[in-house]
Amino acid sequence: MAEISAKLVQELRQKTGAGMMDCKKALKENDGNIDAAIDWLRKKGIASAGKKSDRVAAEGLVDTYIQPDGKVGVLIEVNCQTDFVARNDAFKTLVKNLAQQAATADSVESLLAQPYIEKAEVTVDEFIKESIATLGENIQVRRFVNFSLGDTPGVVDSYIHTGGRVGVLLQVIAKTDDAAGNEEFKKFAKNAAMQVAACPNVEYVSVDQIPAETVQKEKDIEMGKEDLANKPENIREKIVQGRIEKRLKELTLLDQPYIRDQSISVADLVKQVQSKVGEDITVHGFVRYVLGEGIEKQESNFAEEVAAQMGAK
């Protein structure tokens, strides 16, 4: 078998635009023959798809899947390059299917390895490559999270805002299945998910969930502010304590004014719902995704990229 050099892989990639590992595999399958490798890539539908694989995908959709019994839920972000493709029905269907499949996956990698829900003879990864070729843009499953309550009484619910640009997955637990099946309980779960979507600063359910290092960091910031420099130590401590308490409440769901009734907090709402269902309820956790947050285009040296990929396998 001919030696597959980095230079040969680079040449094939420049000719086809396919990904480096796809090019390496194509050359291995065809004993280093670059023309045969090009034909192999075209037959696999990889050449046209791979050409888009280096383009930044910061558009797309955030979507959810909730199992009919409300015990399992998924929040997923799938990216493409333009809003035009994000509004395409084929892309929307792909995202909905991936959300459903992610209910049984524990990582993006394991999701990509699953048989695709509508075309079991190919994997999710292979179907995405087909979709890239069809839609003409890079598509990436960026992240997902799934919640499963198992036998715990409760419900998983979600909320999608601004046409798939913000999404929330939230789980609320109760003491009994009777309470979990109560319409007031279910209504609260939906409203709580909407509350999280409306509060971009909220990161925790309650103050006692905030890590000690976060609290200390906030304290250090406040203690170092210039307006306190000339204050006596005991006065500074009291002022900082008040500021810290206010800041921590800004980070917590239960301390937010309820979006449907600003006269009460979410914690007050919980108490109201508890009186209606007859037992304690708890917001167990939530996740909030904002489409494309943190995505930045990274420049890389092509020759170094090829060498790194060749050394990996």
Query: At 58, which CATH number?
Result: 3.30.479.20
Residue 158 placed within a domain: no
Taking the whole predicted model, whether its pTM rises above 0.85 is answered as: no
Question: Which residue range forms the structural domain that includes residue 228?
Answer: 210-246
Residue 116 placed within a domain: yes
Residue 166: φ, ψ to 5° = -135, 135
Q: Are residues 66 and 85 in the same domain?
A: yes
| Digit-coded pLDDT (tens) for 8-17 | 887 887 677 6
Q: Are residues 88 and 143 in the same domain?
A: yes
Q: Are residues 58 and 123 in the same domain?
A: yes
What is the pLDDT, as a whole number, of residue 53?
Answer: 53
Q: Are residues 58 and 134 in the same domain?
A: yes
Residue 278 placed within a domain: no
Residue 20 placed within a domain: yes
Which three-class secondary structure string do you get for the chain? Answer: CCCCCHHHHHHHHHHHCCCHHHHHHHHHHCCCCHHHHHHHHHHHCHHHHHCCCCCCCCEEEEEEEECCCCCEEEEEEEEECCHHHHCCHHHHHHHHHHHHHHHHCCCHHHHHHCEECCEEEEEHHHHHHHHHHHHCCCCEEEEEEEEECCCCCEEEEEEEECCCCEEEEEEEEECCHHHHCCHHHHHHHHHHHHHHHHCCCCCECCHHHCCHHHHHHHHHHHHCCHHHCCCCHHHHHHHHHHHHHHHHHHCECCCCEECCEEEEEHHHHHHHHHHHHCCCEEEEEEEEEECCCCCCCCCCCHHHHHHHHHHHC
Q: Are residues 65 and 142 in the same domain?
A: yes
Q: Are residues 74 and 134 in the same domain?
A: yes
Q: Are residues 61 and 123 in the same domain?
A: yes
Residue 266 placed within a domain: no
What is the pLDDT, as a whole number, of residue 2?
Answer: 65
What is the pLDDT, as a whole number, of residue 304?
Answer: 52
What is the pLDDT, as a whole number, of residue 222?
Answer: 82
Q: Are residues 138 and 59 in the same domain?
A: yes
Query: Among 221, 246, 271, where does a domain finish?
Result: 246
Domains held by the chain: number: 3
Query: Among 193, 220, 246, where does a domain finish?
Result: 246
Angle at 267 between CA 192 and CA 261, to 5 degrees: 65
Residue 14 placed within a domain: yes
Q: Are residues 142 and 60 in the same domain?
A: yes
Residues of the chain with pLDDT under 70: 1-2, 14, 17, 45-56, 296-313
Q: Are residues 78 and 105 in the same domain?
A: yes
Query: Among 131, 147, 163, where does a domain finish?
Result: 147
What is the pLDDT, as a whole number, of residue 52?
Answer: 54
Here the CATH number for the domain that contains residue 10 is 1.10.8.10
Residue 142 placed within a domain: yes
Q: Are residues 67 and 23 in the same domain?
A: no
What is the pLDDT, as a whole number, of residue 45?
Answer: 65
Residue 235 placed within a domain: yes
Q: Are residues 9 and 72 in the same domain?
A: no
